[in-house]
Structure 1
Amino acid sequence: MIDGIPFRQVGELSPGGIVCVVDHASNHVPPGIELGIAPELLDKHIAVDIGVEGVAERMARRHAIPAHIATVSRLVCDLHREEDSPAVVPETSDGHLIPGNIGADVERRLSLFHRPYHAALADWLDAARPELVIALHSFTPTLESGGDDRPWEVALLYNQDDRAARHAIRLFAEEGLTVGDNQPYSGKQLNATMDRHAEAHGRPYLTIEVRQDMIARKADQARWATLVADVASRTALALRGA
């Protein structure tokens, strides 16, 4: 996080192309904010979507898909939540108490992080006029708080607009992957950023969730950057012909 700015943008915009948005790319906790948790928890999925920053960086630098990347941990302010969501400054996550967020000044966190991030994203997307938006996330194979194992290697989430997701589900499956369709959770309940910046503007989008063990290493991140870029490009082509 540089000069208090809760995002960075990588790659050159080419109007009418494909872009990528990464809400949970960072585990950074800015000075002056004390979460009250063990430092090792910042390397877990509760603080950051493991692997996605490396995938997005490679897509921007090697595949001409520019990215808008968060630079603050979701435990500080979850940029992938509505402002009025209780989870926008989470007090618990996957069974872990976040003591520093209990009684936190939520309005200040929104002003410092959430609103600047989304205002800049709105301007960036207006300038990009993208034919397709990728929202890139990752999910843990197993929640510490319990529940079934998550067998999907990649998943597509969507709310009302599934026109791009339908193509990508098929294309990932053709690569021999186990693909989730609105799993391990549904975009009909959790799709805040794309609801606001894609569905509300009629922009086709792919909310892609990659299982974290698939992209934990740099070599895997490079492979998935190529795969996601290819699927997104073929999805955009299919949408053009629809």
Structure 2
Amino acid sequence: MSGLLLIADHASNHVPADIDLDIDPVLLDQHMAIDIGVAPLGRLLCDRLDMDGIFGPVSRLVIDLNREEDAPGLIPQESDGFAISGNKLLDAEGRRARIAHHWRPYHDGIAARIAADRPRLIISLHSFTPRLSARPEEARPWQVGVLYNQDDRAARPGIAALRAAGIVTGDNEPYSGKVLNATMNRHAEGNAIPYLGLEVRQDLIGDEAGVTAWADRLAPVIRTVAEAV
């Protein structure tokens, strides 16, 4: 293997049969439930770069795997203006059970993988919607955003390589890694491993052609960053 590890927290919209979110099922195919395009893009990048990958197995509406265990939004009660009614009914025991069944095994698995075969670079892959339903007037012009918190060893060459490739790149946009970076804070910064946090705009990777095109564009960037760190 290449010594690279890809982590995609929000790659699935799966809701276990024993969980009732009490929402319109159409929401499960939208950005509040899953990072659109991330699963196929992540798998293609893993194939292109001989890279191992860890893909979150449940919808972020079941539990947000990119949040700290005690974060208020860990089990969301609303998302982009839509109420997640089933989560509002969850009591303290139900919350503890959901964390124990889904959040802890996921993060324990990442920790074990890193301990067994320490990667030299972690790639965190997410995607973002071109605009939020709650704020439709705020278009997001970036094609890719690079997120980071304290450790910018991979972010800096990543931003430079993306921009050199003609990609409209956000520096801690459309989200700041200084606010939303839980998985990388825990497993990358916590282990002093450099990481490249990539957010790809969802309309660019919403179909097979887009996924292939962006794998073609992002694979060389990841190679460049891996050589730089």
- TM normalised by structure 1 equals 0.90
TM-superposed deviation, 1:61: 2.5
Other-structure match for 1:187: 177
Amino acid at match of 2:205: I
Q: 8 Å contact 1:91–1:98 — kept in the other structure?
A: yes
TM-superposed deviation, 1:193: 0.1
In 2, Cα distance between the equivalents of 1:61 and 1:170? 24
Residue by residue over 1:90-109, the C-alpha shift from the partner in whole angstroms, topping out at 9 and shown as x without a partner, is: 00000000000013121111
In 2, Cα distance between the equivalents of 1:125 and 1:221? 27
- Which of the numbers 102, 118, 137 marks the counterpart of 2:107? 118
Q: Percent identity?
A: 48
Other-structure match for 2:219: 229
Amino acid at match of 2:50: A
In 2, Cα distance between the equivalents of 1:70 and 1:20? 11
In 1, Cα distance between the equivalents of 2:155 and 2:116? 24
- Which of the numbers 160, 164, 168 marks the counterpart of 1:174? 164
TM-superposed deviation, 1:238: 1.4
Listed as ranges, the gaps of 5+ residues in structure 1 are 1-13
| 2:17 paired with 1:66 | no
| Paired positions, count | 225
In 1, Cα distance between the equivalents of 2:120 and 2:222? 10
TM-superposed deviation, 1:136: 0.1
- TM normalised by structure 2 equals 0.95
Amino acid at match of 1:83: E
Other-structure match for 2:198: 208
TM-superposed deviation, 1:231: 0.9
TM-superposed deviation, 1:125: 1.6
In 2, Cα distance between the equivalents of 1:48 and 1:236? 27
In 2, Cα distance between the equivalents of 1:213 and 1:41? 17
Amino acid at match of 1:93: S
Amino acid at match of 1:80: N
Q: 8 Å contact 1:63–1:226 — kept in the other structure?
A: no
Other-structure match for 1:132: 121
Listed as ranges, the gaps of 5+ residues in structure 2 are none
In 1, Cα distance between the equivalents of 2:118 and 2:215? 22
Other-structure match for 1:155: 145
In 1, Cα distance between the equivalents of 2:214 and 2:75? 30
Q: 8 Å contact 2:15–2:62 — kept in the other structure?
A: yes
TM-superposed deviation, 1:63: 2.5
Amino acid at match of 2:141: P
- Match of 2:221, SS state, is helix
| 2:43 paired with 1:57 | yes
Amino acid at match of 1:49: D
